[in-house]
Structure 1
Amino acid sequence: MKKLLPALFSALIASIATPALACGYDSIINNPFTLNYPGSMVVALKTQQAITEGAISPLPALTGKDGLARVSQWLEQLRGRLQQAGLDERFSVYLVDSNLWTRFDPLGGNVLVQSHITPEPNETVLLMTEAGLNALLHANLTLAQAQQKQLFKWSKTNDARVVASFERSISEVAIF
């Protein structure tokens, strides 16, 4: 019985953690309309509308490790900007088109970025798409324009420190 309990506990943890590892680049979820976080559908539809109107550019389709490498580079760029902006509270980004969760966690003046990590309960979440992230990082769109077009959405707008750090990271010009 003593040997059985650790094995059952490990199996339980593995079964709980596995869904968090699945993203569109794992070829498990490849339909952006299977979005499972409140507000995801609005962000996806508003992004498609912005692409149709020519406000932002569509992204070349990349799948598997190539797509994950591209978005990981953008998330790393955002991490560096958040670090420069003095992020002091953890939050997660949910890229609704690829179903990719990424956590940004401040650690002693640095910011740790971890993809495939779902948020803790009550953690602030930023919903956006890869096209929206790309447009903001490369200054193809201002933060005010992206807000007006609803290209991103916060789960909690009362988390002023996180929102302010994000706004500084996008508004300030950073070279990477």
Structure 2
Amino acid sequence: MRASAIVATGLALLLGSASPMTRGCGYDGMAVDLTTAHPASLSVALAIHDAYQAKLLTKPIALQGGFGMRRAQIMLEKLRVALAPIAMGERFSLLLIEPGLWAHFDGTGAELRVTLHVAAPAADERVVITGEGVLLALVQGKLGADQALQAGLIQMQATLVQRERLTANWSQAFPPYSVVAR
């Protein structure tokens, strides 16, 4: 019994002393503070909220813990597959604003890889900020990347050249949605 109390105390100290940038996301039961997640996350969150209210996007059912993390993992894998043929040599971090989950995409090796639950990137790294409902609409073909960018549902933070390349990759992977074409 004493050993478990020591282990619990040790874990509490480790978690409590962790840097805010490496703490868990909403799927870990942690509260998400959009203002510290990324400076652009609040405006993206508001745009997504407005799109949900206007019924332009379908709001995903809130899932807690491992269920939510698994859905996010599946969604980010679908994103990876869609971007893989065109994003070789690219690297960027992605923030899912609802859970405050950071993922890192790295196409500098033989294939595009995604790593979930990573620390927030440095200020000078390429960042994509969006939400689960936006990714769902993109991978289902119900929204094009250009439409999402214009509506503020996705924001890309990078140098001008890097942002143009990211935008071109996403636009190619997720072409404009057309009611007639579907």
Greater Cα offset, 57-66 or 162-171:
162-171
Moved over 6 A (4+): none
Matched residue, 1:57: 58
Instruction: Give the equivalent residue in structure 2 for 1:162.
Output: 166
Q: How much has 1:135 moved relative to structure 2? A: 1.0
Partner of 2:40: 39
C-alpha distance 121-148 of structure 1, shift in aligned 2 (>3 A): closer
Q: Which residue of 2 aligns with 1:78?
A: 79
- Alignment partners' CA distance in 2, 1:155 and 1:146: 15
Contact 1:94 1:102 in 2 (8 A): yes
Q: 1:37 and 1:75 mapped to 2: Cα distance?
A: 19
Alpha-carbon distance between aligned partners in 2 of 1:64 and 1:92, rounded to the nearest angstrom? 22
Structure 1 segment 1-176 matched on structure 2, within 5 A? 19-29=21-31, 31=32, 33=34, 35-117=36-118, 118-156=120-158, 158=160, 159=162, 160-171=164-175
For residue 92 of structure 1, give the secondary structure of its aligned residue in structure 2.
strand
Identity of aligned residues (%): 32
Aligned partner of residue 57 in structure 1, secondary structure: coil
Distance 1:34 1:147 in 2: 20
Q: Check the 8 A contact 1:91/1:125 in 2, yes or no.
A: yes
- Normalising by structure 1, what TM-score? 0.80
Contact 1:87 1:165 survives alignment (8 Å):
no
Greater RCO, 1 or 2 (C-alpha within 8 Å, sep 6+): 1
Q: Does the C-alpha gap of structure 1 residues 21 and 80 become closer, same or farther in structure 2, counting only changes over 3 Å?
A: farther
Give per-residue Cα distances to partners, 1:98-154, cap 9 Å, x unaligned. 100000001433011001113244110000011111111111112232123210111
* Paired AA for residue 167 in structure 1: S
Counterpart amino acid of residue 54 in structure 2: E
Question: RMSD between aligned alpha carbons?
Answer: 2.5
| Shift in alpha-carbon separation, 1:25–1:132, aligned structure 2, 3 A | same
The more displaced of 56-65 and 140-149 is: 140-149
Deviations 1:68-106 (A, max 9, x none): 000100101111111112332210100111100000001
Tell me how far apart the structure 2 counterparts of residues 16 and 162 of structure 1 sit (CA, whole Å). 32
- Confirm or deny: 8 A CA contact 1:32 1:96 kept in the other structure: no
Alpha-carbon distance, 1:32 to partner? 6.0
Q: Which moved more, 1:18-27 or 1:45-54?
A: 18-27
Query: Which whole-Å CA distance do the structure 1 matches of 2:87 and 2:151 have between them?
Result: 27
SS at match of 2:106: strand
TM-score normalized by the length of structure 2: 0.78
